Amino acid sequence: MVEKRRKVRTEHLERFRRTGRVVDLAPELESQPIEDSLSKSIPTQPPAEAVPRSQKAKRVLDRFLLVIEVSAVIGLILIIYGGIKILKDLNRQFAEALTPATLTPTALIVPVVLPSGHTPPNSPSGAQPNEEEIPRHLRPLYQTYQQVPIPTHGVEQATRIQIPTIEVDAPVVQGDGWEELKKGVAQYIGSANPGQAGNLVLSAHNDVFGELFRDLDQLELGDKVIVYTAGSAYTYIVTGSQIVEPTQVEVMAATTDPILTLISCYPYMLDTQRIVVQASLQGWE
């Protein structure tokens, strides 16, 4: 195409020369390639070094603003996510608060020694709780048990005990601590109530505070023990007795059958062991 244009231009110049309408060009100008003139007319891209500094600063600022915008969007997403999670937690806590709690029975404190232990009244220090019979490593547990609150008296709990054979007729109180045993026969907290399935554990002193269980060793098989509540009387029949160490607390263990366990110190005025009498429920009225 360039050659064609050159040819046309040359023909025009020749025609104009013949008619005298143009003058001859200088040789160097006439021989200058058209391509050079065309190339000079096309502007070239300035070198990279020629870019103004203001444009570079603007690019850096644009990138910085872009990073800030992206960070703001990410932060907003995290805030929305955290708000949704907090709302879910609040709804869950509210639902749990409306759901009735499942009641679980409180585990009973396992006794470390059998109740009614004390020093004999004729000892130098007189009658008082005998902590020496408690194993040293179990004394903290014993102190914890002593702090268990006495439950409110209920209509199903024992109120009185009668043992006709040894002429016992005494009130029954809840708890078998030192102060409770001063008031009568004591029911171990957590043991079964009269007539119920389980082990009803009652204890009393043999040589102080009325000597209520002094003759417990005289009971024989088949003797009756009557335990009263607010509205009923339950009759137990003696099935056996034994002399045990103060730490043989297994005699107080829960049972599936309704039984009665009577405990007192032994022997009389020595109080180094315990006598344990057990009876099974015969009936009630």
AA letter at 159: T
Please give the pLDDT value at position 155.
87
Nearest alpha-carbon partner for 160 in 223, 234, 106: 234
pLDDT in tens, the chain (285 residues): 767 777 777 777 777 677 766 555 555 444 455 455 544 554 555 554 555 677 878 888 888 888 888 888 998 898 998 889 888 888 888 777 776 554 444 444 567 889 989 999 999 989 998 888 888 887 776 666 666 667 677 789 999 999 999 999 999 999 898 999 999 999 998 899 999 999 999 999 999 999 999 999 999 999 999 999 999 999 999 999 999 999 999 999 999 999 999 999 999 999 999 999 999 999 998
Residue 118 per-residue DSSP state: B
For residue 222, list its beta bridge partners: none
Measure the CA–CA gap between 196 and 236, rounded to whole angstroms. 12
What span, in angstroms and rounded, lies between the C-alpha atoms of 259 and 238?
Answer: 10
Report the pLDDT value the prediction gives residue 190, as an integer from 0 to 100. Answer: 87
- Residues contacting residue 108 through CB under 8 Å, at least 6 positions apart: 189, 190
Please state, in angstroms and rounded to a whole number, the distance separating the CA atoms of residues 283 and 269: 35
**Alpha-carbon span 21 to 169, nearest angstrom:** 160
- Sign, Cα dihedral of 201, 206, 208, 210: positive
Residues in the chain, total: 285
Q: H/E/C letters for each residue in 158-210?
A: CCEEEEHHHCEEEEEEECCCHHHHCCCEEECCCCCCCCCCEEEEEECCCCCCC
Cα separation, 206 vs 214, whole angstroms: 4
Distance (Å, whole) CA 243 – CA 277:
9
pTM listed for this prediction: 0.61
Q: Which helix (H) or strand (E) holds 64?
A: helix 53-98
In this predicted structure, what is the pLDDT of residue 47? 52
156-284 falls under which CATH superfamily?
A: Sortase (2.40.260.10)
Domain ranges for the chain: 2-41, 156-284
Q: What b/e string do you get for 31-48 counting C-beta neighbours within 10 Å, with b at 16 or more?
A: eeeeeeeeeeeeeeeeee
